[in-house]
Amino acid sequence: MKNKLSVMMFSWEYPPRVIGGISPHVYFLSKSLAEIGVKVHVVTCDFPGAPAHEVIDGVEVHRIDSYKNPSPDFATWVYLMNLNMQREAAAIVNKLGGKIDVFHAHDWLVATAGIGLKHVFRKPLLVTMHSTEIGRRDGLHTDTEKMIHETEAWLTYEAWKVVCCSDYMVSHVKWAFGLPEDKLVMIPNGVNTRAYEDPENEHYETFRAKFALPHEKIVLYVGRLVYEKGIHVLINAVPKVLAKVDAKFIIVGSGYMKEQLLDIVKSMRLEHKVLFLGFVDEENLLRLQKCADVSVVPSLFEPFGIVALEAMAAKSPVVVSDTGGLSEIVDHDVTGFKAYPNNPESLAWGITRILIDENYKKYIRENAFRKVQEKYDWQKIAQQTKQIYKSVLGEYSKSFWA
């Protein structure tokens, strides 16, 4: 290819519009691709105060008028937003003289825009499936859920390649939409390790003292307080850990199980050992992760498990349940401890082991940090993504569309 590789990405969220995990994913992926010489245009929804067009870290960001048409419900809004996204993106591609090599869509929320533009410009379409409706809902129960599922199926059908962030998601997506093996690509999600580099003169002792006594170890949980995250399993493991080692359990996040969990803690008379912090801002969360003697991810269902990676990047040793994406992130006794899912005994065993055995703890956190740097670095992920773009373009160049 003589000219610079040029990609147009579609995402319904991009900072400052942050709804879930797609926004930071697209931000870091596009930025890292720009750093290795890929021209990236991100087409996304508008946000109050954010300009319609700007260049962020070398990435061209276009924000479309996403509430132009009134809509009776969320799903209809999505398709109408796609109408406007398609219309504005078409005009952008034209303005660039058609110089876009690949379209890259993130999730069904931008499905119809991606599919439509693929056909009118006859350029290859890639999709990253971050999640699925059938996985989120544990089945398809309503017409809306079926419609979204079929839209996802259609999107993966139209895509040249389907990218998933874990081997678990690859097999899930393959099963959900009946896709051939060679259409699927695994490229992990990334962690921005630079955010966890120690600033000079940072005094963690003072910060730590706000949450725990000097002789107490800190056990950290970060996540929504909902059933699938397995927080109740951790709460049930608390007395088992305390029988062996003195510790403070810090719970970050909120959710519908909060009252119930508080009741359990109260009935165990352990209010002084379990601290519910609710939502914590990014800066303080980072410090907490750095202070934690162990981070626990006890999920029952987990497509990827970014929170475990963040803990590993912060050099906090992790105990995770052996399920979904977590199973791939952690190697047992090497980069963390894998507990049996939904088993407080097993979870307590892992937590206690890390808190008591200093050598084990040191060994695990060093291995974990190295693994994050090697496998989940955005630069590496951008390289892998660029390779996929190139191989797709190689195949495309031999097709009758080229």
Partner 1 sequence: MRVIIFSWEYPPRVVGQLADYIKALSTQLVKNKVETYVVTYHDSLTGAVEEANGVRVARVANPVRAHIGVLTWDLTLNQEVERAAASIYYNADEKVDLINVYDWHFIPAAVTLKNALKIPFVYSVESLENHRSPDPNTPYSMSIKSIEWLGLYESEKVSVKSEWMRDEIVRIHNVPEEKVKVVSPSADSWIKDVLELYKTVAGGANGK
**146 vs 370 by CB, closer to partner 1:** 146
Element (H, E) at 381: helix 378-396
Element (H, E) at 237: helix 231-242
CB 93, min distance to partner 1, A? 7
Interface with partner 1 includes 150 (CB under 8 A)? yes
Interface with partner 1 includes 96 (CB under 8 A)? no
**41 vs 365 by CB, closer to partner 1:** 41
Interface with partner 1 includes 164 (CB under 8 A)? no
Interface with partner 1 includes 390 (CB under 8 A)? no
| d(C-alpha 387, C-alpha 380), whole Å | 11
| d(C-alpha 90, C-alpha 96), whole Å | 10
Interface residue with partner 1, options 122, 210, 370, 390 (CB under 8 A): 122
Interface with partner 1 includes 396 (CB under 8 A)? no
| d(C-alpha 342, C-alpha 330), whole Å | 17
CB 89, min distance to partner 1, A? 9
Task: Give 139's DSSP letter.
Answer: S
Interface with partner 1 includes 18 (CB under 8 A)? no
Q: How many CB atoms lie within 10 A of CB 43?
A: 27
Interface residue with partner 1, options 90, 280, 300, 393 (CB under 8 A): 90
Cis omega before residue 188 (within 30°)? no
Sign (positive or negative) of CA dihedral 147, 150, 152, 155: negative
Interface with partner 1 includes 64 (CB under 8 A)? no
Task: Measure the N-to-C terminal CA separation of the chain; round to a whole number of Å.
Answer: 13
Interface with partner 1 includes 97 (CB under 8 A)? no
Strand partners of residue 126: 104, 161
Strand partners of residue 220: 250, 295
* Cβ proximity of 117 and 103 under 8 Å: yes
Classify residue 150 as left (phi > 0), alpha (psi -120 to 50) or beta. Answer: alpha
Interface with partner 1 includes 137 (CB under 8 A)? no
Interface with partner 1 includes 68 (CB under 8 A)? yes
**178 vs 255 by CB, closer to partner 1:** 178
Interface with partner 1 includes 91 (CB under 8 A)? yes
Interface residue with partner 1, options 5, 50, 56, 75 (CB under 8 A): 75
Tell me the site size for partner 1, rule CB under 8 A.
36
Starting at the edge strand found earlier in the chain, the sheet holding 125-128 runs 53-56, 59-64, 39-45, 6-10, 102-106, 125-128, 161-164, 184-186
CB 395, min distance to partner 1, A? 19
Interface residue with partner 1, options 115, 127, 218, 354 (CB under 8 A): 115
Segment contacting partner 1 by CB under 8 A, of 108-116, 195-203, 246-254, 290-298:
108-116
Binding site for partner 1 (CB under 8 A): 68-73, 75-76, 79-80, 82-83, 86-88, 90-91, 93-94, 112, 115-117, 119-122, 143-144, 146-147, 149-151, 154, 157
